[in-house]
Amino acid sequence: MQQRAAIAQDLVLVGGGHAHVHVLKSFGMQPVPGVRVTLVARDVETPYSGMLPGYVAGHYTFEECHIDLGRLVRFAGARLIRDEAIGLDRNGHSVLCRAHPPIRWDLLSIDIGSAPRTNDVPGAAAHAIAVKPIARFAARWEALLARAADMPRLRLAVVGGGAGGVELALSAQHRLAGLCGDAVEITLVTGGGLLPSHNWRVRRRFEQIFAERGIALLPDHEIVRVERGSLICADAKRITFDEALWVTEAGAAAWLAETGLPLTAGGFIAIDETLRSTGDPRIFAAGDVATMIAGATIPN
């Protein structure tokens, strides 16, 4: 009978992001004796966010743009704890979870992504659809598609003028036009300009595409409140909608502020070029939750 190696080190992965998917795949292909890997994830399917616009447009099914974490964990010989992390006990080397007892770690990696900051605007969390977490967004999107064909007119608002908002506005228009024809009205609302991080040629081209596709563009309209069926702008302008997609600047999980780890001004984990926290060499972070600090050093 094959003997299992004694557990010498616990590697805990918090979140089912893309980096952790690759870690699990690597352990499945080449296990490390003595290392026990544990994945803590709220959902058993992790989305590939790059395929979200294609899913909204109808090019992919929900299943096609998700990875089965349960199957991957079994391949890696790891443990899966289906729960949500809510904090860290760094002195006790433990991850604090919403429902599960604390999970001890020797090395910890955090890859929980980010989400649009709905809490910054009163009513946004209650009356708009945040694009992340994607599982919740997908349920609302599918419900909208189910009733769209029976609506005499469908007014969809997309809040956010970055690349994500532009992609989703165009993808939604493609899908909904196939269901509703000319009865769909899509408006993209942004507090600044369209695609502010891109050059003027790209911005001008997308303004033309929006005009060709019949998508209304409202730049320089800061949303200060969301009510049921209405976006309220700083100048008191009211934009009515049947559904609103919230694709604004992303924020980090609030519990990170209580960890004592060095964070950026936006609340993201500061890491060095090896993806280690700049304040704790036992903790790594990857993906949207982390920001690499040039020239950063970590304590011995």
pLDDT in tens, 42-58: 989 888 888 999 999 99
User: Region 267-293: what's the mean pLDDT?
Assistant: 96
Residue of higher predicted confidence among 109 and 6: 109
User: Region 232-249: what's the mean pLDDT?
Assistant: 95
What pLDDT sits at residue 133? 81
Which range is least confidently modeled, 126-140, 152-166, 254-268?
Answer: 126-140
Whether 1 shows a pLDDT value over 50: the answer reads no
User: Region 69-78: what's the mean pLDDT?
Assistant: 96
What pLDDT sits at residue 299? 54
- Sorted by where each begins, the domain ranges of the chain are 9-114+252-292, 116-249
Per CATH, the number for 116-249 is 3.50.50.60
Give the three-state DSSP class for 168: helix
Which pairs count as long-range contacts for 64-72, CB under 8 Å and 24+ apart, including other chains?
67/16, 67/21, 68/44, 69/16, 69/21, 69/24, 69/39, 69/41, 69/43, 69/44, 69/45, 70/44, 72/21, 72/24, 72/25, 72/28
User: Region 150-179: what's the mean pLDDT?
Assistant: 95
At 15, the pLDDT band (50, 70, 90 cuts) reads very high
| Mean pLDDT value across the chain | 93
Whether 298 shows a pLDDT value over 70: the answer reads no
State what percent of residues in the chain have pLDDT above 90. 81
Whether 2 shows a pLDDT value over 50: the answer reads no
What pLDDT sits at residue 105? 98
CB atoms within 10 A of CB 106: 14
Whether 4 shows a pLDDT value over 70: the answer reads no
CB atoms within 10 A of CB 214: 12
Residue 61 burial (10 A CB sphere; 0-12, 13-18, 19+): exposed
Do the two domains 9-114+252-292 and 116-249 of this chain adopt the same fold?
Answer: yes
pLDDT tens-digit readout, 86-133: 999 999 999 999 999 999 999 999 999 988 888 889 999 999 999 888
Which residues fall within 8 angstroms of residue 18, CB to CB, at 6 or more apart? 46, 48, 111, 287
Global pTM? 0.86
At 296, the pLDDT band (50, 70, 90 cuts) reads low
Q: The CATH number of 9-114+252-292 is which of 3.40.50.720, 3.30.300.250, 3.30.70.920, 3.50.50.60?
A: 3.50.50.60
At 181, the pLDDT band (50, 70, 90 cuts) reads confident
User: Region 182-193: what's the mean pLDDT?
Assistant: 94
